[in-house]
């Protein structure tokens, strides 16, 4: 074969369609091509994977909406790197344009995937099952027997049996001894329900992010707290939420009951057993109501939920000057650092001149050993407050700082008379002199505090409903089998052989089944249908039958 002959048989098409005389792809054509690519299932899976990967930086780098203090510290430690990371939105991942773009493209892709399939499924629900193929023996599962019954009786028994098993039947046609049946439409319906529910979850989560907000507070026993934009310890508003949208209500923490395992041995010793509380909720125009709450039992006020996240101890401390005047008196929150509730905290006394600051720890059950002072049990068995004192400028250059730390760079540690750093150990009721005639400090008692998460999420309930719908769709996808069954009745000659009635004519019954995908139970289904149709028609199966055409067939 010459080169010219080969080129005529296998022409090499140029890449440019216009060289073949074809139309140039216009803007509408490109738009259709882009839409087909975007709405393909492969693109949806890629976007779903990209969305999962895009959440990784949110767990690696501190986020402004969660911990602005750490973000500020990151800028101080690595200003150049932090500046570049901030340009790419690494400190606000879930509000960044690139994350929102992936989210939006995934929604569009899912909508484009689901809508055509919904139309196709609706058409298949209205359509009848397909006609039976000419050769049922080519089906994956096929059985044939010969019965000594009238063909019409066998055909009626087949339609009745398949209908009773909830198969959709093709309308009967005069003179056609064939039954076409199909079932399993719920499988595709479950598939569509799963994808629609997945889309609903995405929309609900997005709505919760846009219109929701969350705040964190610490309330001590006996204290009242009023909700407001400026009263939260931390407050994160959604992009479409204004500070005026935060509802106003008052919560008073009446009691916080916490119990720990004190009699168990090993790892169970000291484990928490009860976290319960009582709070009085008051709203404008309503009578105050006392409600109980717990870890999995939040308070609900005006569509806002208050969850108990944690608890700890707040020593009640009073600081006086050398003249006996009170400079500070309040319950100070100390944050637990371990399972035995050994807690760290600070006490700031800006009214002193110069300012006084105390840093140290609170130990619910004091245990003194060679390793130092620790807490051996989280309950209040032998509480003690261990402090060291500093004096100087508590707020250098007016910079804001955490209420749980002291900037000691502009302060001096208070020394004892022997030149050693001040060390003070107080138990409830103790009063100690602050070295250098700076006054006294007294530990009056200890109260508990509860850490509360206040959250308003309008997408929470819809997300739960859609998640349940997705689970239902997934169960339907996995449990329902899509099957087609075809039954053909053949009219033959008279039966001969043992037990045959010479006056009857044989009827050939063929049953074939076709699955969509894999179906290990299809063989058993065909066998059951064969037995049920035979029984319903009142026929019997001879041991051996012979047709008038002379073809012998052993029954199976």
User: What does the pLDDT look like over 423-459, one tens digit per residue?
Assistant: 899 999 999 999 888 899 999 999 999 999 999 999 9
Mean pLDDT of 528-548: 70
- CA nearest neighbour of 357 among 384, 328, 337: 328
Q: In this predicted structure, what is the pLDDT of residue 445?
A: 93
- Same domain for 200 and 66, yes or no, is no
Look up the pTM and report it: 0.69
Q: Are 292 and 276 in contact (CB under 8 A)?
A: yes
Domain boundary among 83, 100, 123: 123
Cα gap 534→145, rounded to integer Å: 10
- Same domain for 388 and 263, yes or no, is yes
Q: In this predicted structure, what is the pLDDT of residue 505?
A: 57
Looking at per-residue pLDDT, the higher value among 506 and 128 belongs to 128
- Same domain for 47 and 114, yes or no, is yes
* pLDDT greater than 70 at residue 252: yes
Residue 11 lies in a domain: no
Q: In this predicted structure, what is the pLDDT of residue 529?
A: 92
Residue 297 lies in a domain: yes
List C-alpha distances in Å: 553 to 346, 435, 520: 97, 113, 28
Q: In this predicted structure, what is the pLDDT of residue 424?
A: 92
- Same domain for 362 and 449, yes or no, is yes
Q: In this predicted structure, what is the pLDDT of residue 16?
A: 47
Residue 495 lies in a domain: yes
Number of domains in the chain: 4
Q: Which of 182-196, 399-413, 423-437, 516-530 has the lowest mean pLDDT?
A: 399-413
Count the alpha carbons within 13 Å of 208 in the hemisphere toward its beta carbon.
19
- Same domain for 518 and 441, yes or no, is no
Q: In this predicted structure, what is the pLDDT of residue 547?
A: 34
Cα gap 4→24, rounded to integer Å: 29
- Same domain for 471 and 496, yes or no, is no
Dihedrals phi, psi of 306, to nearest 5 degrees: -115, 115
* pLDDT greater than 60 at residue 63: yes
Residue 545 lies in a domain: yes
Return the residue matching tokens 């089944």: 513
Dihedrals phi, psi of 555, to nearest 5 degrees: -80, 145
Cα gap 272→77, rounded to integer Å: 38
Residue range 464-500, pLDDT digits in tens: 999 999 999 999 999 999 999 999 998 865 444 444 4
Cα gap 68→236, rounded to integer Å: 11
- Same domain for 293 and 378, yes or no, is yes
Residue 5 lies in a domain: no
Looking at per-residue pLDDT, the higher value among 265 and 164 belongs to 164
Mean pLDDT of 242-254: 91
Q: In this predicted structure, what is the pLDDT of residue 14?
A: 44
The SS3 assignment for 379 reads coil
Q: In this predicted structure, what is the pLDDT of residue 143?
A: 92
Cα gap 386→18, rounded to integer Å: 86
Mean pLDDT of 165-190: 90
Residue 166 lies in a domain: yes
Cα gap 230→454, rounded to integer Å: 14
Q: Which of 29-33, 115-119, 304-308, 397-401 has the lowest mean pLDDT?
A: 397-401
Q: Which two tokens stand for residue 175?
A: 């003179």
The SS3 assignment for 177 reads coil
* pLDDT greater than 80 at residue 545: no
- Same domain for 433 and 471, yes or no, is no
- Same domain for 333 and 200, yes or no, is no
- Same domain for 368 and 386, yes or no, is yes
Mean pLDDT of 260-284: 84
Looking at per-residue pLDDT, the higher value among 398 and 389 belongs to 389
Domain boundary among 82, 98, 123: 123
Residue 14 lies in a domain: no
Identify the band that residue 167 occupies on the pLDDT scale cut at 50, 70 and 90. Answer: very high
Cα gap 268→100, rounded to integer Å: 45
Domain of 176 in residue numbering reads as 132-184+481-554
Mean pLDDT of 174-180: 87
Per DSSP, 15 falls in state S
Mean pLDDT of 90-108: 88
Q: Which of 29-43, 267-281, 397-411 has the lowest mean pLDDT?
A: 397-411
The C-alpha angle with vertex 435 and arms to 432 and 438, in degrees rounded to 5, equals 90
Cα gap 354→394, rounded to integer Å: 9
Cα gap 110→45, rounded to integer Å: 10
- Same domain for 100 and 151, yes or no, is no
Cα gap 317→328, rounded to integer Å: 8
Q: In this predicted structure, what is the pLDDT of residue 10?
A: 45
Q: Which of 335-339, 342-346, 493-497 has the lowest mean pLDDT?
A: 493-497
Q: In this predicted structure, what is the pLDDT of residue 24?
A: 63
Report the chain's mean pLDDT, rounded to a whole number.
85
Q: Are 77 and 61 in contact (CB under 8 A)?
A: no
The C-alpha angle with vertex 433 and arms to 425 and 380, in degrees rounded to 5, equals 30
- Same domain for 333 and 441, yes or no, is yes
Q: In this predicted structure, what is the pLDDT of residue 554?
A: 37
Residue 50 lies in a domain: yes
Edge to edge, what strands does the sheet with 505-515 contain?
A: 141-147, 505-515, 483-494, 178-183, 168-169
Q: In this predicted structure, what is the pLDDT of residue 421?
A: 87
């Amino acid at each position: 074969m010459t080169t010219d002959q080969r080129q005529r048989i296998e022409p090499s098409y140029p890449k440019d369609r216009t060289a073949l005389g074809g139309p140039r792809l216009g803007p509408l054509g490109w738009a259709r091509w882009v839409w087909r690519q975007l709405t393909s299932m492969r693109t949806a899976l890629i976007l779903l994977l990209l969305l999962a990967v895009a959440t990784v930086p949110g767990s690696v780098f501190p986020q402004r909406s969660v911990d602005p203090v750490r973000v500020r510290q990151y800028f101080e430690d690595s200003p150049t790197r932090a500046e570049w990371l901030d340009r790419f939105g690494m400190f606000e991942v879930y509000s960044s344009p690139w994350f929102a773009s992936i989210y939006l493209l995934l929604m569009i892709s899912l909508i484009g995937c689901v809508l055509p399939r919904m139309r196709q499924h609706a058409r298949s629900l209205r359509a009848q099952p397909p006609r039976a193929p000419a050769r049922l023996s080519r089906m994956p599962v096929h059985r044939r027997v010969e019965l000594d019954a009238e063909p019409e009786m066998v055909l009626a028994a087949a339609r009745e049996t398949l209908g009773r098993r909830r198969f959709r039947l093709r309308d009967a046609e005069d003179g056609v001894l064939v039954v076409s049946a199909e079932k399993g439409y719920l499988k595709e319906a479950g598939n569509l329900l799963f994808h629609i529910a997945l889309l609903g979850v995405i929309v609900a989560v997005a709505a919760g992010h846009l219109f929701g907000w969350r705040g964190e507070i610490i309330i001590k026993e006996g204290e009242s707290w009023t909700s407001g934009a400026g009263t939260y310890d931390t407050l994160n508003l959604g992009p479409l939420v204004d500070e005026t949208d935060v509802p106003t209500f008052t919560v008073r923490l009446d009691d916080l009951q916490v119990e720990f395992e004190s009699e168990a041995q090993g790892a169970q010793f000291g484990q928490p057993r009860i976290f319960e509380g009582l709070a009085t909720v008051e709203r404008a125009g309503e009578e105050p109501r006392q409600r109980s709450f717990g870890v999995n039992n939040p308070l609900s006020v005006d569509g806002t939920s208050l969850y108990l996240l944690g608890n700890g101890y707040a020593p009640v401390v009073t600081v006086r000057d050398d003249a006996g005047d009170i400079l500070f008196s309040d319950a100070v929150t100390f944050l637990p650092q371990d399972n035995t509730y050994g807690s760290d905290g600070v006490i700031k006394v800006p009214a002193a001149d110069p300012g006084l600051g105390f840093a140290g720890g609170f130990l619910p059950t004091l245990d003194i050993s060679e390793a130092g002072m620790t807490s051996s049990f989280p309950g209040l068995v032998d509480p003690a407050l261990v402090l060291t004192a500093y004096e100087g400028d508590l707020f250098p250059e007016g910079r804001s700082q955490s209420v749980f730390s002291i900037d000691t760079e502009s302060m001096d540690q208070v020394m004892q008379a022997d030149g050693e750093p001040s060390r003070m150990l107080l138990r409830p009721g103790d009063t100690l002199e602050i070295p250098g005639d700076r006054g006294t400090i007294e530990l009056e008692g200890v109260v508990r505090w509860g850490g509360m998460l206040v959250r308003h999420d309008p997408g929470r309930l819809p997300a739960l409903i859609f998640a349940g719908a997705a689970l239902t769709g997934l169960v339907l996808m996995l449990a329902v089998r899509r099957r087609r069954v075809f039954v053909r009745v053949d009219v033959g000659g008279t039966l001969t052989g043992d037990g045959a009635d010479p006056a009857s004519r044989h009827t050939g019954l063929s049953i074939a089944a076709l699955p969509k995908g894999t179906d290990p139970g299809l063989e058993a289904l065909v066998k059951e249908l064969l037995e049920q149709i035979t029984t319903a028609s009142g026929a019997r199966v001879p041991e051996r039958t012979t047709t008038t055409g002379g073809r012998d067939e052993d029954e199976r």
